Amino acid sequence: MNGTPRGLNRVVLALTGLVLLALGASLAALAAAPSLAFRWQAWAGAQVAALRGLAARTRLAPGTGSWIWLVVAACLLVLVIFMVSWVANQGKGRTNILFQREGVASDDGAAGKVVLSSAVAEQSLKAALLERGDLLGVSVTSYDFRGHPAVRVRVLPRQGVAPHEIAADIGSLVDALDALLGVQVPVLVSLGSGARARFTKAERVR
């Protein structure tokens, strides 16, 4: 529902995983096979010597450094900008406005606007759901979905709780909220599960 670039996230995670996997396999092979380690040392020594020769041939002026390091710094700067942009795009799409309408008053003809904050729906639904003893966690957020505000309700039920009953109760709360506000807002209900739900004991009252 939000604007998180999921496709880009999967590509970045896949590439990072492949690089780390290849690096780990290479280190394991070097540690397990001494002959392979000797070959690696010989190859790496040749590459270091070649790099030093290239740096000596690409100096900007006698006694100064090579311009190759400027290229490396520029590449690292581009990488940093990409990472900052990638982090900034995570979780985008939040909205603070649930409903707004502009119009003209019928009595004096004055123009006006009615704005309903998304916090009204978020706090109302969250407060009602937190009173339930069969839920371990509740999260209510508002997003701009295809140009229209929508509310996402994510709950973490206790182990053994019927999901359809929770979904039906949340639907009843949403219907009551729509009737109270006079506005129908799309709501996405997400029921999560995890280790917290499996290992948390249900509270009992005697």
What's the CATH superfamily of 97-199?
A: Cation efflux protein, cytoplasmic domain (3.30.70.1350)
Residue 114 has pLDDT above 80, yes or no: no
User: Which of 46 and 109 is assigned the larger pLDDT?
Assistant: 46
pLDDT digits (tens, 9 = 90+) for 124-177: 888 888 888 888 888 888 888 777 788 888 888 888 888 888 888 888 988 988
Residue whose structure tokens are 């896949």: 14
Q: Provide the 10 A C-beta neighbour count for residue 157.
A: 19
Across-strand partners of 156? 137
How much of the chain, in percent, has pLDDT values that exceed 70? 85
Integer CA distances (angstroms), 160 to 8, 166, 171, in order: 36, 12, 20
Residue 41 has pLDDT above 90, yes or no: no
**Contacts (Cβ under 8 Å, ≥6 apart) of 153:** 125, 129, 138, 139, 140, 170, 187, 188, 189, 190
Rg (CA), the chain: 29
Give residue 204's pLDDT band: very low, low, confident or very high (50, 70, 90).
very low
Reported residue count of the chain is 206
Q: What does the angle CA 93 – CA 5 – CA 151 come to, to the nearest 5 degrees?
A: 30
Domain spans in the chain, listed from the N-terminal domain onward? 6-88, 97-199
pTM for this structure?
0.51
In terms of C-beta density within 10 A (0-12 exposed, 13-18 middle, 19 or more buried), how is residue 20 classed? exposed
- Strands 97-104 and 111-117 come out as antiparallel
